[in-house]
Amino acid sequence: MDKNIRKVLTWTVIFVVLIFVVGYGVKEWRLSGEKATKDRDAVVGEYINKKGQKWTIPEGKYEFQVSSIEEYPRFISGVIDPLDVHVGDIQKMQVVISGDVPLTRVWAEIETDSDIEIVDMALTEEKALTRDSFENNPYLVDDKGKLIINGVSPQWTATFSGLIKQAQAQGVMEYVYEGEWTVRDTHTETYRTKFIVEDEQGRTDEMTLAWSDPVCTFSGGGALQTDCTITTGVEGVDNVNMSFSGSQTITLNGGTLAFNPNKTFTIGSGQIVLGGGTIDAEKYLYYTDVDGDGHSPSAAISTNSSVGPLSQKIRVYLASGTADCHDGAGE
């Protein structure tokens, strides 16, 4: 082969290799940038449950605290990592539980579209309960089951001190349990995580994190009827005290749970799971009502510090319905 031809072929090969290397590097840089953006923005999965309700769930680690009456055993906090999983993923879970006697079993029941996975969890740590378990929680529950909000409720200091003294007197311990499972089913319609604990006296506690149930249903008297998860918007009651009808769990994963000033929130045997969002006890709840006919075009709630009336709004407890197809036309 002619020397000049060999030289041209050599440079051609080098040029092709350089193009490939540069192109691959640009692709990897772009993908790493996309991954960093995805991680930073905590991409949210959007799904529709069997009732036709849209629900969302963030990707990544979900850390939460639990507010409930100080009866043992009692869940304090936990971690689910990652929260939004897909078939083949490994999900790791951790719960922290307080108890005045040793625990005998802790497990999780994960309900997905067509399956319920039972995951037994193992004890990894135990220590005396510290004041941090109460101090780091923005919401405490007093011995009557009423919610006490840090910085809002005047009873906070007395409740905080009383709970610590009670725990120390009873020799309450803090137990950490961990477990994991491999996902074998989808959760596009149904996704609930129930944690259950039993102690050596046969006493139990459980909480259901109802990810796929975005609507909190309250009775006319303000009692919560079902487990639910608030991810966006506002849920709550207006002009009545809020309570739980049983051992329901409200999971705050964004959004707001609201009730009026001078009204109470009695949790009783239920729980508040806080992993985002807030509880607002100083607002009044409103629907949109542009034409002032007492009917709102939707059940979307807004809040305001004013008792009302407000222009183009109606208090939730005064509304006649939430299906006004001609709001603005006085119909």
CATH code 2.60.40.10 for 57-211: yes
Q: How far apart (Å, rounded) are the C-alpha atoms in residues 12 and 71?
A: 77
> CA 43, CA 36: separation in Å to the nearest integer?
11
Residue 81: enclosing H or E segment and its boundaries?
Answer: strand 74-81
Write down the pTM of the prediction: 0.83
How many Cβ atoms are within 10 Å of 116's Cβ, its own excluded? 12
Q: Between residues 175 and 4, which one has the greater pLDDT?
A: 175
Give the pLDDT of residue 44: 64
Q: How far apart are CA 106 and CA 104, in angstroms?
A: 7
**179-201, pLDDT tens digit by residue?**
999 999 999 999 999 999 999 99
Q: Where are the domains of the chain?
A: 1-41, 57-211, 284-318
Interval 86-112 mean pLDDT: 98
* % of the chain surpassing 70 pLDDT: 85
Residues in the chain: 331
pLDDT average, residue stretch 74-85: 96
**pLDDT-based confidence at 30, cuts 50/70/90?**
very low
* CB neighbours of residue 154 within 10 Å: 7
Token pair belonging to 177: 């349990």
Half-sphere exposure for 107 (CA within 13 Å, toward CB): 10
